[in-house]
Chain A
Amino acid sequence: SQQGEEDPQALSIQEGENATMNCSYKTSINNLQWYRQNSGRGLVHLILIRSNEREKHSGRLRVTLDTSKKSSSLLITASRAADTASYFCATDAKGGNTGKLIFGQGTTLQVKP
């Protein structure tokens, strides 16, 4: 069944607030990646976290990974209107030898100015 289920499906916040998105998956993984997609555009890679890592930061982004719970979270701090987009987690299944990614349905984030 589908890996990488995001929660919530949609999130609306005010500029300056923090946004937290969660992702759950079902099988063991090599890594988990977060992507952003603006309407009508391709996906932009945000962060890759490996299965032996617990937390990673990049600018205003913070990703955590809990392999015991098979879950990850993406935190965007001090959000801006430009952060409005859909956010997807994707997993690279352990034991797979192709690197193909399994995507969730995504969280649609709206940041109001």
Chain B
Amino acid sequence: NAGVMQNPRHLVRRRGQEARLRCSPMKGHSHVYWYRQLPEEGLKFMVYLQKENIIDESGMPKERFSAEFPKEGPSILRIQQVVRGDSAAYFCASSESRENQPQHFGDGTRLSIL
């Protein structure tokens, strides 16, 4: 029973390139959350999606960042024209429902911008 799978584990991009982070939720989970963690800090909520719908994107930067969770396939967090400040660990979590259920996290993608 696989947990939340994220890939790649490590991603290196040069400034101005695009970064694509993928997340496959646990089997049976239709709720996906993306969080960002800067060094020595806690996680910051970015976006919450259900299949094909963005429910809450209040934590997403207004520009360059987008997320999707298509009917088939993994959820994708996309960062266009990356800048040094985008360097962080990006975690995906999934849950069975949105209320009073634990969120199960993947091991994250560590994004480094050169």
Interchain CA distance A102-B4 in the complex, whole Å: 20
Q: Taking the nearest CB of chain A, how far is it from the CB of B36, in angstroms?
A: 11
Which residues of B, 1-54, contact A by the 8 Å Cβ criterion? 4, 6, 31, 33, 35, 41-45, 48
Interchain CA distance A81-B97 in the complex, whole Å: 34
A103 partner, pick from B44, B55, B98, B100, beta carbons under 8 A: B44
**Taking the complex as formed, is B59 at the interface, i.e. its CB lies under 8 A from any CB of chain A?**
yes
B42 partner, pick from A31, A45, A97, A106, beta carbons under 8 A: A106
Q: A43-B91, A99-B95 are in contact. Are A48 and B44 (CB under 8 A)?
A: no
Cβ-defined contact, B91 with A103, below 8 A: no
Cβ-defined contact, B41 with A105, below 8 A: yes
- Tally of contact residues, B, Cβ under 8 A: 30
Which residues of B, 81-114, contact A by the 8 Å Cβ criterion? 91, 93, 95, 97-108
Chain A residues near B104 (CB-CB < 8 A): 45
Cβ-defined contact, B42 with A4, below 8 A: yes
Interchain CA distance A41-B6 in the complex, whole Å: 11
Cβ-defined contact, A100 with B56, below 8 A: yes
Cβ-defined contact, A48 with B102, below 8 A: yes
**Taking the complex as formed, is A68 at the interface, i.e. its CB lies under 8 A from any CB of chain B?**
no
Cβ-defined contact, A33 with B43, below 8 A: no
Chain B residues near A98 (CB-CB < 8 A): 48, 55-56, 98
Chain B residues near A105 (CB-CB < 8 A): 41-42
Chain A residues near B101 (CB-CB < 8 A): 48, 99
User: Which residues of A does B touch, CB under 8 Å?
Assistant: 4, 30-31, 33, 35, 41-45, 48, 50, 88, 90, 92, 97-106
